[in-house]
Structure 1
Amino acid sequence: MASLPPPPRPCVSPPALPYVVALADDLSGAAETACALGGAVRLSLNAADVAETAAAHDLVVDLDTRHLPSAEAAYAVRTALRAAQAGPPRLLYKKVDSQLRGHLAVEAAAYAEGATAVVIAPALPAARRTVTGGVVHVNGVPLHRTDGWRAERASAPRSLAEALSGLPVRTVPLDAVRSEPAVLDAEFQRIGASGAHPAPDAETDADLDAVAAAVLRLGPGFRLLGSSGLAAALGRTLLRPAAATPPPTPARDCTPLLFVVGTAEPGAVAQIARLTALGAHHVPLDPADLAAGTVRLPRTAAAALTVLSIDGSAGPRPGAGRALSTALGALAAAYPGRPDLVLTGGETARTTLDALGIGELEPLGEIHHGAVHSRTPDGRHVVTRPGSHGAEDSLLRITVALRPRPAASAAAV
């Protein structure tokens, strides 16, 4: 007698991947994170949106805490965290600066409340920012020996443990990060059980992929804290379905393009020079006049390509960043002709969009690393970019991406 075939196996759907709620401390970092996660993502400038319950997408919220007093920054993170936890289960992510600027210690402490452990990985290999031995390196040089904090009031921390003073941190060396998954999982669990937080070293995207995968395996008690490099690793690990292709954008060659350069990075001078060689009109603004509100744009500023920048010839002005960014943003918002915008520096981007009443962006893609092209609800195009990102041709590449025909014509002259 023939044996009966085995009964059919029940159809079991794979577990649903969690949606992400990411909290950022500035807008350019929020845009980087939204682009890095991939798939359907909403980028909001309103902290109250963390409480939304229809979580059919990843959500990135700019809490805009970089300029706040430390206690207020911590409160903003704590409030957003509670709102996120009150909704449907979602994977928590805290975006921080890869050079550890901002209120890192107090925001991380607030974010860690109620977690088994926070896995801390600020490496950003695409920008040659790595972590070895618990120390952030920029182009192979320890952060505290670079000029990355020249516009800050304090000195750069010598290690992650120093940057996160008050939060117990344990370095996870590269050999553990690159070991078998079970070994890395066990190390994260051991550190979490001791009441500390693992800070894995990372030099490559593959290192960050291993960290993100471990946190997904370990479950909701573990949270992620890192730069856009870790966000990209999370996006790769989650394998999000591609977002719907946005409809074609009509040619915008006749729409003015306004660059608002609020960064104190020395490289901005060379970036602007590449644009002026293309025929852009450059308006350098005196910081004292800008802060006093006495700047008036000349009529000749209404050109196809215009660059507004803060004259940095007198050197950085520690502590004055927010006031100058607010004044610069108000000036940009009043620019005639409803231009598309290229905004460098997270505070400059945020204050400009605040002045325009824009509370949400739709990320369309990345022009180069960190330069995120988005669209506003009313159809204006905006590119945000951290001040420290981009080579000498950064602004030129953005121009070519947004205005290929005028840029090509000008370059041929």
Structure 2
Amino acid sequence: MASPPPPPAPSVSPPVPPYVIALADDLSGAAETARALGGPVRLSLAAPDVAEIAAAHDLVVDLNTRHLPPAEAANVVRTALRAARTGPSRLLYKKVDSQLRGNLAAEAAVYAEGAQAVVIAPTLPAARRTVTGGVVHVNGVPLHRTDGWRAERAAAPRSLPEALSGLPVCTVPLDVVRSEPAVLDAEFRRIAASGAHPAADAETDADLDAVAAAALRLGPGFRLLGSGGLAAALGRALVRPATATPAPSPAQDSDPLLFVVGTAEPGAVAQIAHLTALGAHHVPLDPADLAAGTVSLPRTAVAPALTVFSIDGSAGLRPGAGRALSAALAALAAAYPGRPDLVLTGGETARTTLDALGIRELEPLGEIHHGAVHSRTPDGRRVVTRPGSYGAEDSLLRIAVALRPRLAAATAAT
């Protein structure tokens, strides 16, 4: 008697391309995330674009919530998540500041709604920001003992659980992160089953790779929340179609280059000095005059090749004044003659400047150094964004040379 024919093989749907919707609270962080993910990407400055999920690329959106009151920031995140759920399933990523600034607790609580768990890892090895024992360290020093929050209204949190107050968090020790994958998976599951969210210790990119891989193995119920370091680990873990990297437009050395330095970081003074040594026109702006709106630019027929606007912080800055100062800097940048390429330091400064110029989208092209993302606007203007706390003493000089290669010879002569 003949054997019955075997049952037909079950049909297998083609795999969905593993694209990501990433939500950031400021523009420099959004740009950093866009480059870190490593796939084809669109970087939007318009929150409603979260619903645009048809194209084969990652979508990184600057929600611009860093300056908002916590409840308003939470509502923006909730609206973005609701829009993200209206179409095909995408991986969700929440970009947060590696020094835990912004509305971290309020936004994380909303981001956790509907998730099995949120895997938290703000470590950023490239900037020497690590997490051990649930405590963020900057250059080996606990965050709350640094001056990283000098421009904030509050004191720096002493730990991740404190920073995420209201969200139950359980620290995952470094030895567990570095254990066998099955052990790390089991720990994430155990914490999620208890109603808490795993906050992973991590010091290296390899640690972050282990965290991202575990979250992906556990499925879409486990969402990721972290810095650009975890975003890069996610990008390394995903299998993506090959994509061509867009080529930067040829340098136009005749176009002016405007630096808008909106950071209160002390290191900005030395960074600017490298530019003035090349002959850059430096315009230090008194914060009181900026806030009062009494600063105006001198009229000139031809803009200097290199100009630097910065806030004079020699007398100290008032905590909480950053938003008003960024808006004033943005107005000056928008009034600058001609159509300069832009270098914008500090996420709030970058966003307010691009808003003032009516720029709603960026195409990331590359990274000049860690965090200094080179992008192109839809009309071809080049923009470099960089977090205010990033970069060595030669950061702005390296950016200037990358955008204006003719400066390389002058740099060698100095």
* Interval of TM-score (by shorter of Structure 1 and Structure 2): over 0.9
Q: Give the structure 1 partner of residue 369 of structure 2.
A: 368
Structure 1 gap segments, 5+ residues each: 1-8
Amino acid at match of 2:35: C
SS in 1 for 2:336: coil
> Secondary structure of the residue that 1:86 maps to in structure 2?
coil
**Corresponding residue number in structure 2 for 1:311:** 312
Equivalence for 1:3? none
Secondary structure (helix, strand or coil) at the match of 1:404 reads coil
Question: Residues 10, 75 of structure 1: CA spacing in aligned structure 2 closer, same or farther, 3 A cutoff?
Answer: closer
**Alpha-carbon distance in structure 1 between the residues aligned to 2:372 and 2:174:** 30
Q: Partner amino acid for 1:151?
A: A
Cα separation, 1, equivalents of 2:194 and 2:402:
50
Counterpart position of 1:124: 124
Is residue 251–residue 405 contact of structure 2 (8 Å, CA) maintained in 1?
Answer: no
Residue 18 of structure 1: CA displacement? Answer: 2.0
Structure 1 residue ranges, 4+ long, deviating more than 6 angstroms after superposition: 9-14
Q: Which secondary structure does the structure 1 equivalent of 2:224 belong to? A: strand
2:196 partner amino acid: A
**Equivalent residues of 2:21, 2:59 under 8 A apart:** yes
SS across alignment from 2:236: helix
Aligned to 1:92: 92
Please state how far the C-alpha of 1:333 moved relative to its aligned partner.
1.1
C-alpha separation in 1, matches of 2:13 and 2:68: 45
Please give the alpha-carbon distance, in whole angstroms, between the structure 2 residues aligned to 1:209 and 1:245. 23
- Cα deviations by residue, 1:339-366 (Å, 9 ceiling, x for unpaired): 0000000000000000000000000000
- Aligned-pair distance for 1:244? 1.8
2:119–2:199 CA contact under 8 A, matched in 1: yes
Letter in 1 for 2:333: A
Q: Counterparts in 2 of 1:327-346, with a 5 A limit?
A: 327-346=328-347
Q: Per-residue deviation at 1:251?
A: 2.7
Contact 1:73–1:107 (8 Å) recurs in 2: yes
Counterpart-to-counterpart distance in 1, 2:118 and 2:285: 42
- Equivalents in 2 of 1:56, 1:184: separation in Å? 31
Partner of 2:135: 135
Separation in structure 1 between the aligned mates of residue 396 and residue 276 of structure 2, nearest angstrom:
11
Within a 5 Å distance, the mapping from 1:236-251 to structure 2 comes to 236-247=236-247, 249-251=249-251
User: SS of 2:406's equivalent?
Assistant: helix
Q: Which amino acid aligns with 2:198?
A: P
2:324 is matched by which residue type in structure 1? Answer: A
Higher deviation after alignment, 153-162 or 287-296:
287-296
Tell me how far apart the structure 2 counterparts of residues 150 and 292 of structure 1 sit (CA, whole Å). 22
The one-letter code of the counterpart of 2:325 is L
Indicate conservation of the 8 Å contact 1:119/1:198, yes or no: yes
Please show how residues 10-409 of structure 1 align to structure 2 within 5 Å.
15-247=15-247, 249-299=249-299, 302-409=303-410
Rounded Cα–Cα distance in structure 1 between residues aligned with 2:46 and 2:367: 23
Rounded Cα–Cα distance in structure 2 between residues aligned with 1:393 and 1:268: 10
C-alpha offsets along residues 249-288 of structure 1, whole Å, 9 cap, x if unaligned? 2231111000000000000000000100011010001111
**How far off is 1:317 after superposition?**
1.7
Could you say what secondary structure the match of 1:114 adopts? Answer: coil
1:34-68 CA deviation, whole Å, 9 max, x = no partner? 00001200000000000114141110000000010
Letter paired with 2:332: L
User: Conserved in 2, the CA contact under 8 Å of 1:38 and 1:240?
Assistant: no
Residues 279 and 410 in structure 1, CA contact (< 8 A), matched pair in contact too: no
Q: Give the count of matched residue pairs.
A: 407
**Distance in 2 of aligned mates of 1:247 and 1:343:** 21
| Contact map agreement 2:17 2:56 (CA 8 A) in 1 | no
Deviates more, 1:268-277 or 1:241-250: 241-250
Deviations along 1:155-197, one digit per CA (max 9) or x if unpaired, are 0000000000010000001111111111111111110111000
- Aligned position for 2:3: none
Q: Which moved more, 1:12-21 or 1:308-317?
A: 12-21
Equivalent residue of 1:23, what SS? strand
Q: Could you tell me which amino acid in structure 2 is paired with residue 362 of structure 1? A: E
Cα pair distance change 1:385/1:145, threshold 3 Å: same
- Would you say the 8 A contact 1:341–1:382 is kept in 2? yes
**Normalization by structure 1: what TM-score?**
0.95
Question: The residue matched to 2:85 in structure 1 has which SS?
Answer: helix
Between the aligned partners of 2:178 and 2:141, the Cα distance in structure 1 is 23
Counterparts of 2:344 and 2:283, CA distance in 1: 15
